[in-house]
Amino acid sequence: MLCHVINQTVAECKPPPDVPNGNYSLYDDGRTVQYTCARGYSLAGDSVRSCDVAGQGWSGNQPSCGE
């Protein structure tokens, strides 16, 4: 059996987008973010998003915080 090891460099992520009336917490891995809304606002969209391997984008749909 022949095995190949692939070395893949993971790029640093661009900062996650801000959400008006909300904020985010970056997980320790630096590649996963969780969004929450200010009191009185409800989150629509994905509350947890992950950075792609190239460091260029975030998974899922951009959340928003509405009244």
Domains of the chain as residue ranges with CATH? 22-66 (2.10.70.10)
23-56 pLDDT tens trace: 999 998 889 999 999 999 999 999 999 998 888 8
Structure tokens at 64: 């928003």
Give the integer Cα–Cα distance in Å for 34 and 2: 41
One-letter identity of residue 50: S
pLDDT at 4: 47
Dihedral of CA atoms 9, 49, 64, 13 in degrees, nearest 10, equals: -20
pLDDT at 8: 55
**Confidence label for 12 from pLDDT (cuts 50, 70 and 90):** confident
